[in-house]
Structure 1
Amino acid sequence: MNTDIIKIFEKDKFAAYIGAKLIEVEPGYAVVQMEINDCHLNGVNLVQGGAIFTLADFAFAAASNSKGCVTLGVNANISYFKSPQGKVLTAKATEISSHKKLCGYNVDVFDENEDLVARFFATGYIKNQRL
C-alpha cells in the first residue's frame, strides 16, 4: 500500500469530517469506508445521497492520484440502486482507462451486506504535476 498517498489523503478535511477512511490504495485502485451515523441521514431517515456521492468521490480521488500525479475530477455521475443496510459503506474505485491527460474510474459502493448500493463514474484530468 502506498503510504505517501495515504498521508496526503489523511489531510482531506472534508473526508475526515464525514468519517471517510482510506482502507487500501494501489496504483489505479482504492477502497474507502464510512461508518454511517445520524449526520449521514436525510429527512426520511435514510442515508443521504450526497453522503454516498462524497464517499465515492473520495475513493475516486485516492485511486486517481495513486500513481503520483495530481488528478482532478472534471465530470462525475452516480446511479443509486438501493438504500444501504447496516452501519458501514464501502467504496471501491477501479481505473477503467488512463491516457496522457484523461482517466476514467468506476466506483462501486456497497453496504454492510455487500449489496451494490450505487455506481459512480468519474473522469479525471491528469495534471503535469507530482503530488
Structure 2
Amino acid sequence: MSQPISEHTTPQELALAASQAMWTRDNATHALGMELISVTPGHAVLRMKVRPDMVNGHHICHGGLIFTLADSAFAYACNSYNLNTVASACSIDFLAPGREGEVLEATAVERSASGRTGVYDVEVKVVGGHTVALFRGKSYRIKGEVIAGLEGQS
C-alpha cells in the first residue's frame, strides 16, 4: 500500500493492508504452499497446489487440507475490515476429489454481516474445472484489530 492508513483510507485499501498483515503471520497457510490471490471487503481468493504429501490412502487430496484451504479463504474475507474475527462454526460438503498436481482455488464471499457475526460461503474448485467442495463459515468478531492499534474501518 502506498499511503499510510488514516481516516481517508478506502475500504479496499484497508482490506489489502489487513490481509498483508495477516499474511506475514500466517505460518499454516505458508506451510501448505497457499497463495493469496485477492482480497476485497468481505471477499477473498486463495489457491493451493495439491502436492504428493497432501494425498491420502485413496490417492486423493486429504479432506482436512481442502477444509484448511476453504477456512483460510474464509479467514481473509472476514478479517478484511481490520476487525479481529474468528470462526464460530464451519461445515463443508465434499463434492468431488482433488487430485495430486491440481491447483485448488477457494473463493470466499460474505453473505451476511451484522453486529459481531457473519456468514460466509466458500467454493473450492479445481482451477479451470469442477467444484470440489462447498464450505460455510460463521464468524464472530472479537476484541482488537488485525493491524494493531487501528480502529476498524468499513
TM-score w.r.t. length of structure 1: 0.93
- Partner residue, 2:142: 127
Using the TM superposition, name which of 1-10 and 89-98 deviates more: 1-10
- Partner residue, 2:104: 89
Q: Which has the higher strand share?
A: 1
Using the TM superposition, name which of 121-130 and 91-100 deviates more: 121-130
1:37 and 2:51 are equivalent in the alignment? yes
RMSD: 1.4
Contact 1:6 1:22 survives alignment (8 Å): no
SS at match of 2:35: strand
Contact 2:93 2:135 survives alignment (8 Å): yes
Instruction: Report the AA paired with residue 9 of structure 1.
Output: W
Looking at structure 1, the residues matched to 119 and 18 of structure 2 have their Cα atoms a distance apart, in angstroms, of: 22
- Partner residue, 1:77: 91
For residues 83-104 of structure 1, the C-alpha deviation after alignment (integer angstroms, 9 at most, x for no partner) is: 1255200000000000111000
Instruction: Report the AA paired with residue 126 of structure 1.
Output: R
- Partner residue, 1:116: 131
Looking at structure 1, the residues matched to 80 and 129 of structure 2 have their Cα atoms a distance apart, in angstroms, of: 25
SS at match of 1:129: coil
Larger radius of gyration: 2
CA drift at 1:21: 1.5
Contact 1:103 1:123 survives alignment (8 Å): yes
Contact 1:6 1:25 survives alignment (8 Å): no
Looking at structure 2, the residues matched to 48 and 90 of structure 1 have their Cα atoms a distance apart, in angstroms, of: 15
For residues 47-90 of structure 1, the C-alpha deviation after alignment (integer angstroms, 9 at most, x for no partner) is: 11001000000000000000110000010000000112552000
5+ unaligned residues in a row in structure 2: which ranges? 1-11, 147-154
Instruction: Report the AA paired with residue 99 of structure 1.
Output: S
Instruction: Report the AA paired with residue 33 of structure 1.
Output: R
Q: 1:4–1:103: structure 2 CA closer, same or farther, 3 Å change rule?
A: closer
Q: What is the identity percentage for the equivalent residue pairs of Structure 1 and Structure 2?
A: 32
TM-score w.r.t. length of structure 2: 0.80
CA drift at 1:5: 1.7
Instruction: Report the AA paired with residue 57 of structure 2.
Output: G
